[in-house]
Amino acid sequence: MIVGCTAIPNRMSSPAWALLSFSAPAGFAARRPFGVLLHNNSDGALATHVVLCEPRQGLIVEAWERRRDRVWLDRRYRGVMRATIERLQNPAALPEADKVLEHATLDGQEVDEPLQSLLPLLRAARAGLS
């Protein structure tokens, strides 16, 4: 997991997409989930942006926390191929987007994998980067 702070103007132009692309060769070689968690250190609608890939399922999960109300949202993109991820710069190239799901908090809720396994890391990173 790549973790860091940067300016995130919006989720479509977030650096998380390019960093996911950068990590794709190693992630696919390991055949394990990989991803990026960025905390927004500038003004903007997002507080946190997370992009995860589950290569065995051809799945990308994007999650973001809105700054104004601290609500988390996530969207899943299915049928994703390695070549697509290796060239990814934003989600416009991704197929089959599911509807956006809203979570008032990530604590004590039913959150599907691969987000569920990463909740401790998400909380720790957010606390450390805030």
> Is residue 77 predicted with pLDDT exceeding 80?
yes
Q: Please report the pLDDT score of residue 55 as a whole number.
A: 92
Which stretches does DSSP call E strand in 28-80?
34-40, 46-54, 59-66, 72-78
Domain that holds residue 72: 2-129
Q: Please tell me the total count of domains within the chain.
A: 1
> Is residue 110 predicted with pLDDT exceeding 80?
no
89 vs 109: which has the higher pLDDT = 89
Mean pLDDT of the 31-41 span: 92
**With the C-alpha atoms ordered 73, 77, 81, 87, is the resulting torsion angle positive or negative?**
negative
Alpha-carbon distance of 27 to 11, in angstroms, equals 22
**What pTM, to 2 d.p., does this model score?**
0.85
CB count in 10 Å sphere of residue 55: 19
